[in-house]
Structure 1
Amino acid sequence: MLNGRTILLIIGGGIAAFKSLDLIRRLREEGVRVLPVLTKAAEEFVTPLSVSALAAEKVYRDLFDLTDEAEMGHIELSRAADLVVVSPATADLLGKMAGGLANDLASTLLMATDKPVLVAPAMNVRMWEHPACQRNVSTLKSDGVLFVGPEEGSMACGEFGPGRLSEVPDIIAAIRSALTEGPLKGKHILVTSGPTHEPIDPVRYIANRSSGAQGTAIAKALRDLGADVSFVTGPADVPPPRGVRVISVETAREMKAAVDAALPADAAVFAAAVADWRVVSESGSKIKKEQGKLPVLEFSENPDILARVSQMMEGRPRLVVGFAAETDDVIAHATAKRKRKGCDWIVANDVSPATGIMGGAENAVTLITERGAEDWPRMGKDEVARQLAHRIADHLTGS
């Protein structure tokens, strides 16, 4: 499975760096080409000579090495492998990755790569549990970075707890998993996300409180299962995911046009909170406040994108998933919506203010299909996305 693959191995500074030598040896035994990169701190624990000897490759160390840049520039190096592995990944490296810093060769390669990244953290237990480190980990996972470990155990510093580097066989197993083609390989899936903004005048608009977090998480989860994702997003609070085709829109009509252009697709997930109405006559200049007078706004219905795609006679996706954000009688309203729109599934959630779900980090959903309603426990939006993505994969592959 690994024979013939190429891995860019970034070795961070820490006592666990010595395990990188065994990792290189075992990967080479499986026919993997290892391109090693040493940070300055890593050179305090393992020598470039030992790393080079085991990898049978040149060791890359300096961002500004003219010889290295002439032979293989850092941009080319960042994309020369099937997978980028950071082992050990120190707190410093995780912080640089999460913050988008690129001030040395390792961090620059991680910013420049277009390949999947797998990190194996190793650090003191207090460093791992520090809120700043956990924020960085959460950011990186949200960005699609893969993790293996850390494990719990005794450390060189004498403390015990999470922070120990995973054993080499576990890291290799994670590498195999990262390089295995997902169940959605070859499937094109359309995802809509975020709110739409319907202009009143050049400075005012109608919108809702959708952050786009759930739609973004779904696009990432589908991407991670190998899908080719077209991501149509309104002006969301969260940035769009990497590794997907992003189409940014503002209004419901623009979203409809973008959806039409993105079809056909094997499946479509309509997570966007599309405004139901728009102002009939948008003012070309700012509407001025006049004492004793209130502006009169005439509204028109926006296109119903979910219903339109669900009821397509030709080219309909095999699976159409809608969302129902409700504040009362959630199951009844969502069940009726599924029948009315003609979609296959509805993901229903209670967005009344007391739940904190709209714009929050968690969600509690009910999956409604022709078989009935299935309640899911409250969990992070990333986990909701992963479960939904696996359900979609099972449906499309017949598992």
Structure 2
Amino acid sequence: DAQMDDARYVATLVRTAAGYGAHVANRARVTAFLREGERVVGVRVRDVEGGGEYEVRAKQVVNATGVWTDDTQALIGERGQFHVRASKGIHLVVPKDRIHSTTGLILRTEKSVLFVIPWGRHWIIGTTDTDWDLDKAHPAASSADIDYLLEHVNSVLNVPLGRDDVEGVYAGLRPLLAGESDATSKLSREHTVAHPVPGLVVVAGGKYTTYRVMAKDAVDEAVHGLDQRVAQCVTEEVPLLGAEGYRALWNARARIAARAGLHVVRVEHLLNRYGSMAEELLGLIEGDARLGEPLAGAEDYLRAEIVYAASHEGARHLDDVLTRRTRISIETFDRGTRCARECADLMAPV
């Protein structure tokens, strides 16, 4: 849990679903629900990338839109059965050498839990718990948020951290089910599933650590609305892409490194990020040795990873790669601007 990379998680989950036959439409925005009487029979979708609007019809529609749940519920013109509040959590990234510790830390503050987690060659310090009612697509850390985290972490560090030690800052929004209390930290972290109108299932709340339970509950609810038998849920038994064979490859990492002409630390990095799909990246490097070189200005990442993001992971834009397929934008002091040109040159032909 503490070593989770949410960007890799999403990409891997989507690719796993696609491997089982799901049709994946990235940059597709639902603008309306299709109705026949009471029943929802599909959605209207705008292609944000290429333009054009499409109607997608379905026997059951599942609305799993996180902090946007209230907005998407409004599209069916019904008052939702529950409300989702966006609670903002921010995180600071600092270089490994700024904190002298061999373990992570978890501390209580008056408003939230403070954690200091080892993250490769960095530490992640989090988190806050505050209301956010501005643009949900771009939650941002305020100056006060940063001061809050620094003040609390410095209360336990021998050598205090300053703003100059902070490499990166990122913020996320938790979809909390609104309860009676005003304080977001009192709101529920649980998830709930509802069938507000025929043909539409809504799942809201929850968190990354419970995603398989949420998926089972939502799909089971959708299955109730189908007039056919569907086999029992097996999500607990389904490994994500890259899980199969990972341990055997980890045992063989020194041999793989020698074969690929890479340092073993590089192979460990690839295995930690891609599991057994690291073989696909090693294949790219075999075809072009220059892809085995690190990025200038973001040396933790190999050039092959930028090509792979575009060829295998659906990345179309520079920010897809710098902020979502990799973590370059928060792991470098320059937010990735020094390697942006090189990344663009690697992506363009793909």
TM-score (norm 2): 0.23
Answer 1 or 2: higher relative contact order, Cα 8 Å, separation at least 6.
2
Structure whose alpha-carbon radius of gyration is higher: 1
